[in-house]
Every structure is written in C-alpha cells, then in structure tokens.
Copies of this chain bind each other. A is one copy, B any other.
C-alpha cells in the first residue's frame, strides 16, 4: 500500500522544475527572442535533457511559455448598451492587445502551423478567448438573433480582426499598421451591420449554402 509520492509528496519537485522552466522560457519570450531549448534550460538552471523530460519539443515549451491574457472581459467598466458601440470598445482593446504583443502572436501562429494536425489539437495554443469577448459585446443582439447566429457572427468577426488578418494586411497587402487596424475594425462593424439588416450568418444546421448574398433588396 501507501501509494508513495502522491499529491504533495515528491511530485512537488516535478512541479517546481516545470514551473521554473516555464518561467525562464517566458522571460526569454517576453524579451523578444525565440529561445533555444538549451537557452531555456540554461536560464532555468536545468539540463537540456530535463527540459525534454517535461516538454516533448521546443514547440510545446514555447507554447507553455507564452503570456496569458487572463482578462475575462474587454468591456469598459460602464459598458454601452448599443451592440455596435460595445463592439467598438471591445475591438479597441482587442486590437491594442494584439499590436502590443504582435511578435508573440506571430510566434504562436507560426507554432500552430508547424504542428502536425494531431499535435495541433493537443497544443494549448490559440485558445480563442476572443470569441467570448466578442460574444459579450454582442450580448444585446440576443433578442434579435438566435444564439447560434450570434455565436457564428462572433466567429466571423474574430476571423476578420485577428493576428492572421493583421499579418496578411501588413505583409502582403502592404497596409501600414494603423490603416490595417482601421480596416479590420471597419470589417467587423460591417459584419455586425450585415447580420442585422441583411441575412444572419449561416449556422451549422443550415445546409442550404445560405449567405451567398445578403438579402439587400
């Protein structure tokens, strides 16, 4: 009997090592570099093989090291009642957040693309907190649109204002960053507008291929 080292026994050591490792990597990431496993291990005063004992590869370590944004809401203290105004407020905060951490966001995006499909699901990468933030902004729509449509709209909006869109707008379309941000915000508001006065976004159950053209006549 006497299951040894369980919960509070020896395992505390493991947790400590892991935390040290993540903290060290996090510091390096925050400093703007993409640390080598060896660098992260050295910074944590741990050997390289040990680092690999905790993380199967560099991707996993960097993923664990990336800064969390724990904010549960991006709305101001006294949020407006109008959906468009709420969305504007959330997008101001969200785009500011993206831009502040653009390098890290790009790294996360790159890591998620490097991972094989199977691994992709396992990585805690790309958590999609933004959807909840946007849905909260769209709260007032719940009595005009079915919940599924609101959710779908939030997804559509997020896909238009994320780091992926920003990357494309600046790198490929060569827009200066402020202009790219302005365009993303315009897109987001346009989607909201279209969902209200045109056709709502297609939801999963809808097999009709709907949304080919928002009803505008």
Contact = CB atoms under 8 A, between A and B. Distances in A.
A30 interface: no
A163 to B, nearest CB: 9
Interface string A186-212: 110111011111110110100001111
Contacts of A187: 156, 159-160, 187, 191, 201
Interface of A: 84-85, 88, 106, 109-110, 112-114, 120, 126-128, 131, 152, 155-156, 158-160, 162, 164-165, 167-169, 171-173, 175-176, 179, 182-187, 189-191, 193-199, 201-202, 204, 209-214, 216
Contacts of A214: 186, 189-190, 193
A88 B164 contact: no
A199 B201 CA distance: 20
- Which are the 6 A-B pairs with shortest beta-carbon distances? A186-B211, A190-B194, A164-B164, A110-B113, A193-B214, A159-B165
